[in-house]
């Protein structure tokens, strides 16, 4: 097992993963800035955080009725111990919620952990559980263009996620899932971050 594989295995432990987010905060802070800029929810809105990890995103949505899901049950156990309740171990592509359950869904720094089929499944199920007027908000790192930044390319290429995409590939994948109604980029210290707001396709 290579040193990188050992480190990635260690990140499966919720304490190690949580500590890593504080020790190397650049990408986390960029994602938080994107949430503050683009995702404004009214008091009492129901928000679903898909791929919530150990629950650190909960503080980004004050006043909202927050639910977090992650496939790692150890992450979920720590999140519930830390924050009280509202976190569930669940497959992003098979959300165990009824239709019309949430006002918004968010996916923060998760899509590069999913292959294209699972991103499409996640987006489709997210749009299913949204109420009318709701949207799926995706925030994720994307690969720089060739020659744009060797440093960011190196950092992101060595991420634990194995499905890094270019900006164009991420936009195309999102467009296959629904209507992109807002988008932007943020050039951070270690990553290039994309924001995409996806709504259901209009009925024919």
Per-residue pLDDT tens over the stretch 168-198: 999 999 999 999 999 999 988 778 899 999 9
Residues with Cβ < 8 Å from 134, sequence gap 6 or more? Answer: 102, 103, 104, 105, 199
C-alpha distances out from residue 195 to 31, 129, 158, Å: 9, 21, 21
DSSP letters for 23-71:
HS-HHHHHHHHHHHHH----TT-EEEEET-TTSGGGGGSTTSEEEEEES
In a domain, 8, yes or no: no
Question: What local confidence, expressed as pLDDT, does residue 150 receive?
Answer: 65
Is 123's pLDDT higher than 90? yes
Alpha carbon distance 66, 142 (integer Å): 27
Single pTM value for the model: 0.84
In a domain, 126, yes or no: yes
In the chain, % of residues over pLDDT 90:
64
In a domain, 49, yes or no: yes
For the chain, the straight-line distance linking the first and the last C-alpha, in angstroms and rounded, comes to 52
In a domain, 14, yes or no: no
For 61-82, write each residue's pLDDT tens digit: 999 999 999 999 999 999 999 9
What stretch of H or E contains 118? Answer: helix 116-128
In a domain, 17, yes or no: no
Q: What angle do CA 28, 128, 114 make, to 5 degrees?
A: 40
Closest CA to 15 of 69, 82, 70, 61: 82
Question: What local confidence, expressed as pLDDT, does residue 22 receive?
Answer: 47
Question: What local confidence, expressed as pLDDT, does residue 50 receive?
Answer: 97
Is 16's pLDDT higher than 60? no
Domain containing 72 equals 26-199
Alpha carbon distance 38, 144 (integer Å): 22
In a domain, 204, yes or no: no
* C-alpha R_g of the chain: 16
The CATH number that applies at residue 143 is 3.40.50.150
In a domain, 142, yes or no: yes
- Mean pLDDT, residues 26-45: 89
- Residue located via tokens 């976190």: 87
- Residue located via tokens 């150990």: 54
What is the count of structural domains for the chain? 1
In a domain, 130, yes or no: yes
Is 34's pLDDT higher than 90? yes
In the chain, % of residues over pLDDT 70:
80
For 125-184, write each residue's pLDDT tens digit: 999 999 999 999 999 989 887 767 766 666 666 666 789 899 999 999 999 999 999 999
pLDDT-derived band at 23 (thresholds 50, 70, 90) equals: very low
């Amino acid at each position: 097992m290579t040193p990188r594989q050992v480190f990635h295995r260690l990140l499966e432990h919720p304490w190690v993963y949580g500590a890593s987010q504080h020790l190397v905060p650049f990408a986390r802070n960029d994602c938080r800035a994107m949430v503050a800029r683009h995702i404004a929810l009214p008091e009492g809105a129901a928000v679903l955080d898909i791929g919530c990890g150990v629950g650190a995103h909960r503080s980004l949505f004050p006043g909202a009725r927050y639910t977090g899901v992650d496939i790692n049950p150890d992450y979920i156990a720590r999140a519930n111990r830390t924050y009280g309740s509202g976190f569930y171990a669940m497959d992003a592509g098979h959300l165990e919620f009824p239709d019309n359950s949430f006002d918004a869904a968010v996916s923060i720094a998760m899509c590069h952990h999913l292959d294209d089929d699972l991103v499409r499944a996640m987006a489709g199920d997210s749009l299913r559980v949204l109420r009318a007027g709701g949207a799926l908000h995706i925030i994720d790192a994307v690969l720089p263009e060739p020659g744009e930044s060797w440093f960011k390319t190196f950092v992101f290429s060595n991420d634990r996620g194995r499905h890094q995409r270019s900006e164009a590939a991420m936009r195309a994948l999102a467009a296959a899932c629904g209507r992109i109604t807002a988008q932007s980029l943020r050039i951070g210290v270690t990553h290039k971050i994309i924001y995409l707001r996806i709504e259901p396709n209009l009925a024919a």
